[in-house]
Amino acid sequence: MKIGISLNPYGDTYGRYGNDKFSVIRKHGYNAVDYDIADTTTELYSLNDRALIQRVNAEKNLAESAGIEICQAHGPWRWPPQDNSVQERKERLEKMKKAVIISNLLGCNKLVIHPLMPYGIEDVKIQKEKETWDLNLVFFRELTSFAKQYGVIICLENMPMNYFSIATPQQILAFVREINDDHIQICLDTGHVAVFNRLSIGDEVRRLGDYIKVLHIHDNMGDCDAHLYPTKGIINWHDFVTAINDIGFDGVLSLETLPSGYLDDNAFEEESINLCEMFKNLVLTNQK
């Protein structure tokens, strides 16, 4: 069983440890990381090709030396969404392609991406579902074709927006099936499922089945995307673990919840270790 954790190399959580971050993560009990390259204002998106290769290879070597797998990366994401104009979508596609290259350099073949939101997060209310769908098809067909050249799988993530038209696991699945390419699959986000109170986490895992290539694991109270620790919200974790076993998922159980970056090093380390141990025990005690 591999347990992963989200890593923003420029953030104030594990990023605080600099070149020791992977060793610290391994010491805390994790086997893998979801490498966060969502912020396109970092140096990774402005370095020239040679400098980028050097920078990313150094990260890859640090991870390998520490015994950490970079199992997935999280691609560009901006809030609020900036996908309305042709120019914005063109700029986002350029950044997405750069993220594909970074993933490849990291030795990571799975890149998590959010759908385009060209009419905002409530396109259902203004009856723009078809327009949203069509613009996403054009965008992701090109991105998937590009990713295939680098051996990277685009993992489209379900969203926590009740009035967005490509949000639920069922809608994500329909979209991925329409593109019909092995290089676009699914990232299942447990917390995003929980925001839709009518949905069962186990049913959604079983619905997606083999399309699930990566996971984002966290909890909430069903009212917002709070990224709480597992068991601190409404998710039925026994149902989740049972369903993951039922579909034969053999990837990384990757947590997308973290100790606070405001904690000092000692408190942060204790919280990180406790989170890892808690989740391992949760998985083990809910096995069939």
What is the average per-residue pLDDT within 114-122? 98
- The pLDDT of residue 206 is above 90: yes
What is the average per-residue pLDDT within 163-186? 98
pLDDT of residue 219: 98
pLDDT of residue 8: 98
Mean pLDDT (the chain, rounded): 97
What is the average per-residue pLDDT within 23-37? 98
CA distances from 130 to 123, 125, 127, 133, 175 (A): 9, 12, 8, 5, 12
Burial of 37 (0-12, 13-18, 19+ CB in 10 A): buried
What is the average per-residue pLDDT within 159-183? 98
CA distances from 263 to 19, 34, 40, 267 (A): 20, 21, 26, 6
- The pLDDT of residue 266 is above 80: yes
What's the N-to-C CA distance of the chain in angstroms? 15
- The pLDDT of residue 147 is above 80: yes
Please report which confidence band the pLDDT of residue 279 belongs to, taking 50, 70 and 90 as the band edges. very high
What is the average per-residue pLDDT within 108-127? 98
- For 204, list phi and psi in degrees, rounded to 5: -70, -40
Which residues are CB-contacts of 62 (< 8 A; sequence separation ≥ 6)?
A: 19, 21, 22, 23
Please answer whether residues 62 and 22 qualify as being in contact, where contact means their C-beta atoms are separated by less than 8 angstroms: yes
3-285 has which fold?
Answer: TIM Barrel (3.20.20)
What is the average per-residue pLDDT within 109-126? 98
pLDDT of residue 1: 83
Cis ω before 80 (30° cut-off from 0): yes
- The pLDDT of residue 288 is above 80: no
pTM over 0.95: yes
Please report which confidence band the pLDDT of residue 287 belongs to, taking 50, 70 and 90 as the band edges. confident
CA distance 65 to 62: 5
- The pLDDT of residue 230 is above 80: yes
Bridge partners (DSSP) listed for residue 253: 3
Q: Where are the domains of the chain?
A: 3-285
What is the average per-residue pLDDT within 180-205? 98
What is the average per-residue pLDDT within 128-134? 98
